[in-house]
Amino acid sequence: MTAPNVLSLAVVRFLGYGMATHPDEDPARLVGEFGAQMASTLEPDVRQLLDELNKLKPDWSAHSLVTAGAWAKEEIRRRHPELSQDALDALEWAFTWWWR
């Protein structure tokens, strides 16, 4: 597994958090940030986190889109306390985009 601070930055870059108007999974941003070799190592780790996020199923009878996003972020934080706040925010952003 990749070092936490590198993985966190990779999540942010891969999704375009802070750069794009909506989550846009782009491996080219990883190459631009880390180089091709490191990007090829990071991408599967990032995609694994996104897959884990996608498998979270909020109780829609108890959540709005906003509260479901916060719930998902806390679930990922609990499972991956090594992730930075920016990475968690990027994952919440993606989650709410998927469910909009």
Per-residue pLDDT reduced to its tens digit, 49-68: 999 999 999 999 999 999 99
Q: How far apart are CA 25 and CA 78, in angstroms?
A: 24
Question: Per-residue pLDDT for 4 more than 90?
Answer: no
Q: What is the DSSP letter of 24?
A: -
CB atoms within 10 A of CB 50: 19
Report the predicted TM-score, pTM, of the whole model to 2 decimal places.
0.93
C-beta separation of 34 from 42 below 8 A: yes
Q: For 82-92, what is the mean pLDDT? A: 97
Mean pLDDT score, 7-21? 96
Percent of the chain topping pLDDT 90: 95
